[in-house]
């Protein structure tokens, strides 16, 4: 089973996104911020195949997390979806420039997540 990681400081949002991914067959790990996510990845040497990342989080925000992840050769091509309340075009451009592959604005529907996962090529 493929592993995904949901990174969001909101426990409720982590649960919503995790349940959605589990319905599509993913095993899901969770982290409350970018630093926690990086710690988990390195501690467990896990092979995460998809990241859903919030922008605004304490300790390490989503944009910094994406930059750090992309600097690691093991995660250079792993799909990343930014899932955030940030709606400005400049922020979307910054996320994509940092290495995000897709961008979803909260609130969203399960269908939106499904469509984006298909665009990323991680759903059949």
Report all structural domains of the chain as residue ranges with CATH numbers, in order of start. 3-120 (3.40.50.2300)
Q: Cα separation of 32 and 51, whole Å?
A: 13
Rounded average pLDDT over 17-22:
98
Q: Cα separation of 79 and 87, whole Å?
A: 21
Going by pLDDT thresholds of 50, 70 and 90, the confidence category of residue 29 is very high
Residue 1: what pLDDT? 60
E-only strand ranges, 27-117: 27-31, 50-53, 80-84, 102-105
pLDDT 10s digits, 63-83:
999 999 999 998 999 999 999
Q: Is the pLDDT of residue 27 over 70?
A: yes
pTM of the model: 0.95
Rounded average pLDDT over 46-73:
95
Q: Compute the mean pLDDT over every residue in the chain, rounded to the nearest whole number.
A: 95
């Amino acid at each position: 089973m493929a592993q995904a990681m949901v990174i969001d400081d909101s426990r409720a949002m982590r649960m919503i996104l995790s349940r959605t991914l589990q319905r599509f067959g993913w095993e899901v790990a969770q982290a409350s911020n970018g630093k926690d996510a990086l710690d988990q990845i390195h501690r467990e040497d896990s092979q995460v195949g998809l990241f859903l990342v919030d922008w605004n989080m304490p300790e390490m925000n989503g944009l910094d997390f994406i930059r750090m992840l992309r600097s690691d050769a093991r995660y250079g091509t792993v799909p990343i979806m930014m899932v955030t309340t940030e709606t400005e075009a400049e922020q979307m451009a910054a996320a994509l420039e940092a290495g995000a592959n897709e961008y979803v604005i909260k609130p969203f529907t399960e269908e939106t997540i499904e469509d984006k996962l298909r665009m990323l090529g991680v759903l059949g």
